[in-house]
Structure 1
Amino acid sequence: MHRLTLPSPLVSVAWLADHLHHPDLLVLDAHMAPPGSTENGPVVQIPGARRFDFDGEIKDAANPLPHMMPSPAQFERQVRALGVNNDSLIVVYDRLGIFSAARGWWMFRAMGHAQVAVLDGGLPAWQAAGHAVAAPRPYAGATGNFVAAQQPELFCDADAVQRVLTDGSRPVLDARSAERFAGQAAEPRPGVRSGHMPGALNLPFADLLDNGRMKPVAELQAQFAARLAPEAKPVFSCGSGVTACILALGAELAGWQGLTVYDGSWSEWGSDLSRPVVQDPV
């Protein structure tokens, strides 16, 4: 069988269906329920998918912030347990379209794995196309040989964000809704102030999507060009480092480079009273 390659950081349902049983391909379910959600519907997966639970397991459990990046050693150990190899081609999806899958994609990128993509439209698009689903099954196959090669520039901390906001060296784009960014809507997590970082720009992640799928590249380019210079190396933030990765995916598809995600995002910044917060007038 020929060696498979990913055509893009974003793959279609048709592409995945055509290659689902290729031995090089590995599908990961990286679903995370939105904060405050009361999901209780039936849970199904794409056949053969393995659960990549970055919210409950593949995270820094010692950090009180939600789903922070684990150490390279922990990440390596846990994804090996899922059968991930250095030469695996990984497609990540979630059950909402595109919501949390981009976080899984960016985590693998941050650990040095370039052959990873997001499924455009996720499980809803898969089912809408008439493809089969299956009940989840714990992975019980061979251990993988994945070796983490951390790319520290792909994630940053609050001090780095404050530096670039202060010196203006890099733009910061916030993926939260316009109402949350302006401080006119309460945050879903307790103890987190409303508002945004001084100097940050707002690009709600929903503006990049159309019915759970990424908008065409030309539309993505227009969204980013309205906020970024062509040579800008943006930092992305959101509520907890999940939907910021949708902005990273959109920016990469639109041609921007040098992208960074603020891991703690507003869960950290908004709860740290030493960090400045501003609100927009109604």
Structure 2
Amino acid sequence: MSDILISALELGQRLEQPDPPTLLDASLPNSPIAPFVPEDGRTLPGALEFDIERVFSDPDAPFPHTLPALEALQQACGQLGLSLDDEIVVFDNRGVFSAPRAYWLLTQAGFTHVRLLDGGLPGWVAQSLPVQQGFSEPTPLSTPPVLKANPSVVSVDDVQANIASPRFTLVDARSAGRFSGQAPEPRPELASGHVPGACNLPFGDVLENGHFKSPEAIGQLLHERGLSSEDHLTFSCGSGITACILWVAAELAGFEHLSLFDGSWTAWVMSGRHQE
């Protein structure tokens, strides 16, 4: 699955060719960014805004970053001018942080040519490649694309049922301290801890200097946690963003049986399951 990633230099060359890919900036506005990339509105040339917070999340959901309804997702993709067979590259301003969420959302909806800029905007800037100020304007489609319902979403009830009758292994991307309950959650109203039976793989462990580690190194990390490519893995985090980093990492390592606990730890705590 090495074709998931594209390097800054390869993308720079691709943008100079006919029919360049559509660039989607999936940065979160409130996420810390690399110290050598000022938050001054810079992005890649021609990039469109993939707004996870306000557009590509359900505004009526009780949990942050919840997958939007299918019709809303189709409308949002249509407004960005995205067709199912378009070549798309997603990135963010942290290197690897929120762009995997966009990758997961699009690929599970039926887009077939989506890649992730490994190293994101910081890696692009480090190569002295050109940037622009602000986003480009999209050309909306006259008819939104016909997408499929995301088949990989796991609910709170699914996770609850899995404790008694395991069908998948829940892999939590949060820090070891939050997972163990020794460190607080960023949202002060939430208790820390983890779902019974879950294992912990902090998302930073699969990254190195803002890039994904090699498939072999990622595979070793998963193996060390007793996981094999035949296992069905379900990824979780705080609110469904960094769990997608583990999703991409697992794909890179050749794992195919994957799900995502979209509400993640926030949904688990707000449902009261952590007190049962």
TM-score normalized with structure 1 length: 0.90
Give the structure 2 partner of residue 28 of structure 1: 24
- The residue type paired with residue 170 of structure 1 is F
Give the structure 1 partner of residue 158 of structure 2: 160
- Runs (5+) with no aligned partner, structure 1: 1-5
Residue-by-residue CA offset, 1:119-146 (whole Å, 9 max, x unaligned): 1000000000110110113514242655
Residue-by-residue CA offset, 1:166-207 (whole Å, 9 max, x unaligned): 212210000000011001111011321110001100000000
Deviation of 1:117 after TM superposition, in Å, equals: 1.3
SS at 2:22 equivalent:
strand
Give the structure 2 partner of residue 129 of structure 1: 127
Whole-angstrom CA distance in 2 between matches of 1:189 and 1:148: 36
Whole-angstrom CA distance in 2 between matches of 1:166 and 1:173: 17
Identify if the C-alpha distance between structure 1 residues 14 and 36 changes in structure 2 by more than 3 Å, giving closer, same or farther.
closer
Map of 1:234-253 to 2, 5 A cutoff? 234-253=233-252
Matched, 1:12 2:7: yes
- The residue type paired with residue 5 of structure 2 is L
SS at 2:24 equivalent:
strand
Deviation of 1:83 after TM superposition, in Å, equals: 1.3
Identify if the C-alpha distance between structure 1 residues 199 and 144 changes in structure 2 by more than 3 Å, giving closer, same or farther.
farther
Give the structure 1 partner of residue 39 of structure 2: 41
Map of 1:83-232 to 2, 5 A cutoff? 83-143=81-141, 147-227=145-225, 228-232=227-231
TM-score normalized with structure 2 length: 0.92
Identify if the C-alpha distance between structure 1 residues 133 and 35 changes in structure 2 by more than 3 Å, giving closer, same or farther.
closer
Identify if the C-alpha distance between structure 1 residues 35 and 93 changes in structure 2 by more than 3 Å, giving closer, same or farther.
closer
Whole-angstrom CA distance in 1 between matches of 2:163 and 2:31: 27
Give the structure 2 partner of residue 3 of structure 1: none
Deviation of 1:245 after TM superposition, in Å, equals: 0.3
- The residue type paired with residue 194 of structure 1 is S
Moved over 3 A (4+): 33-37
Whole-angstrom CA distance in 2 between matches of 1:26 and 1:198: 41
Deviation of 1:25 after TM superposition, in Å, equals: 1.1
Whole-angstrom CA distance in 1 between matches of 2:121 and 2:66: 25
Deviation of 1:24 after TM superposition, in Å, equals: 5.1
Identify if the C-alpha distance between structure 1 residues 222 and 107 changes in structure 2 by more than 3 Å, giving closer, same or farther.
same
- Contact kept, 8 Å, 1:24 with 1:88, in 2: the verdict is no
User: Quick check: 186-195 or 213-222, which moved more?
Assistant: 186-195
Matched, 1:66 2:64: yes
